Structure 1
Amino acid sequence: MRRFDDEDLTGAEFRECDLSRARMVGVVMQDAEIDGLVTSLVVNGVEVMPYVEAELDRRHPVRLLIRSDRPADLREAWRQLRDDWATTTERVRSMPENSEHRGVDGEWSMVETLRHLVFVHDTWFRRCVLGLTEPFTAMGLGPPDVMDRKEDGLDRSARPSLDEVLAVRSRQASEIEAWLAEVTADQLTQTAPVPDDDRWPPYATGRTVRKCLGTVLDEEWAHHGFCKRDLDKLTRQHSPQG
């Protein structure tokens, strides 16, 4: 365990770090930002995550649909997520040229974000929900160790345009929509037919179909939020006062 005593961490950035069971005692934390998988966060003796989750649900009612076990709710959640991405796509087309390829603060650009969602679809839907074993879409963007596995089909050198990624996304969306139109509540509770091999994701075996689909929907919602956040920052940079 690492311990930091009387350290000045002003402006520090922790990226892809595991801070589970971290204790911060007597700290000064002003204008701080936490973005990630956070559960059971106690601040000055108060468990704050129930308040955070309730506020997120209030701001984004689609989250309630994403957590539902009813096929009709899941279909509506997918429709709303697709509509949100369509609106954001229209927005980026109206921004300065190449905005879709610009990242902010070390984050993925919009195109890179969409490429990651292509990968999410291939892994958590096609592979885990449908049980398919074919290679992943070449333009998909996954973890570094997966990108280096040539047998998985990913192309680290891929530099697709926004329209090229959107074309793949459209095909994938049609695939989910057709499946959601037929799936039953009972089918959602069944164990996902994850192929028995060493391909991504490594921790899906034993999960239900519903759980695997939930990962797809959660990723769609979360990454859309990240994308909007970064486009807001780009817009401020391009404004006369930026």
Structure 2
Amino acid sequence: MRRFVDEDLTGAEFREVDLTRARFVGVVMDDADIDGQVGRLVVNGVEVMAFVEAELDRRYPVRLLLRSDEPDDLRGAWRLLREEWAGTVARVRAMPEGTEHRGVGGEWSMVQTLRHLVFVHDSWFRRCVLGLTEPFTTLGLGPPVVMEQVLGDAVEPPRPSLGEVLAVRERQAAEVEAWLADVTPDRLAASAPVPDDDRWPPYARGRTVRRCLGTVLNEEHAHHRFCVRDLDTLAREDPPAPVVPVG
């Protein structure tokens, strides 16, 4: 166990770290930001995650549908997710040129985020829900070590445009919508038809179709939230030019 005693961690950033069972004792934590998969979290003797989860459900009603096993709820969740992304695409197109390629604080840009969701679709929907073994989309974006495996000798495009990424996303969305149109509870509860090979994601075997689909839907929601957060930051950094009256 690593211990930090009498350390000044002001401004520190912990990225992709595991803080399970971590203890913060006698700390000063002001203006801190925690974003991740948080389970039980006790702050000054109060378990706070129930409050956090309830507030997130209030802000994002789609979360209630995402937790459901009912096909109608999942279809509704997918429609809401698509509508949210459509609104965000319209928003970024109205922002200064190039905003879609700008990241905030080391996070992915909007285009990179959408590329990651292309990768998620290939991984968790096409392979794990549909059981397909087709090559991954070269435009997709995932962890570097994983991309080396899934792309092989294929060449990743240098910086695709928003339009190019959206074209792929539309095709993928049509696949999901068509599949959801007649899915049944039994099909959702069945074991996922993950191909019997060593390609990504290898740990999906043994999961249900519903759980693999849940990964796709949850990633769509989470990354949309991140994208909106960062667009809000960019909008504050680049306020619209004042309107100069004529005459």
**Would the TM-score normalized by the shorter structure come out above 0.5?**
yes
User: So what's the TM-score if we normalise by structure 1?
Assistant: 0.96
- Correspondence 1:228-239 to 2 at 5 A: 228-239=228-239
Deviations 1:82-139 (A, max 9, x none): 0000000000000001100011100000000000000000000000000011110000
Deviations 1:12-51 (A, max 9, x none): 0011111111111111111100001111111112211111
- Correspondence 1:14-53 to 2 at 5 A: 14-53=14-53
The one-letter code sitting in structure 1 at the alignment partner of 2:37 is L
2:154 and 2:54 mapped to 1: Cα distance?
38
The one-letter code sitting in structure 1 at the alignment partner of 2:10 is T
2:173 and 2:113 mapped to 1: Cα distance?
16
Structure 2 match to 1:219: 219
Query: 1:148 is paired with a residue of what secondary structure?
Result: helix
Query: 2:117 is paired with a residue of what secondary structure?
Result: helix
Structure 1 match to 2:245: none
Query: 1:164 is paired with a residue of what secondary structure?
Result: helix
Structure 2 match to 1:100: 100
Structure 2 match to 1:204: 204
2:106 and 2:127 mapped to 1: Cα distance?
30
Preserved contact between residue 129 and residue 194 of structure 2 (Cα < 8 Å): yes
1:153 and 1:74 mapped to 2: Cα distance?
37
Deviation at residue 149 of structure 1 after TM alignment: 2.2
Preserved contact between residue 117 and residue 220 of structure 1 (Cα < 8 Å): yes
Deviation at residue 201 of structure 1 after TM alignment: 1.2
- Correspondence 1:69-108 to 2 at 5 A: 69-108=69-108
2:131 and 2:210 mapped to 1: Cα distance?
14
The one-letter code sitting in structure 1 at the alignment partner of 2:205 is T
2:240 and 2:90 mapped to 1: Cα distance?
22
The one-letter code sitting in structure 1 at the alignment partner of 2:6 is D
- Correspondence 1:162-173 to 2 at 5 A: 162-173=162-173
**Highest Rg: 1 or 2?**
2
RMSD: 1.4
2:125 and 2:38 mapped to 1: Cα distance?
25
- Correspondence 1:120-135 to 2 at 5 A: 120-135=120-135
1:203 and 1:144 mapped to 2: Cα distance?
18
Preserved contact between residue 121 and residue 172 of structure 1 (Cα < 8 Å): yes
Matched residues, percent identical? 73
2:232 and 2:217 mapped to 1: Cα distance?
23
Q: Structure 1 106/44 Cα, relative in aligned 2: closer, same or farther at 3 Å?
A: same
The one-letter code sitting in structure 1 at the alignment partner of 2:91 is R
Number of equivalences: 241
Preserved contact between residue 138 and residue 157 of structure 2 (Cα < 8 Å): no
Query: 2:204 is paired with a residue of what secondary structure?
Result: coil
User: So what's the TM-score if we normalise by structure 2?
Assistant: 0.94
Deviation at residue 202 of structure 1 after TM alignment: 2.3
Structure 1 residue runs of 5 or longer lacking an equivalent are none
1:151 and 1:81 mapped to 2: Cα distance?
28
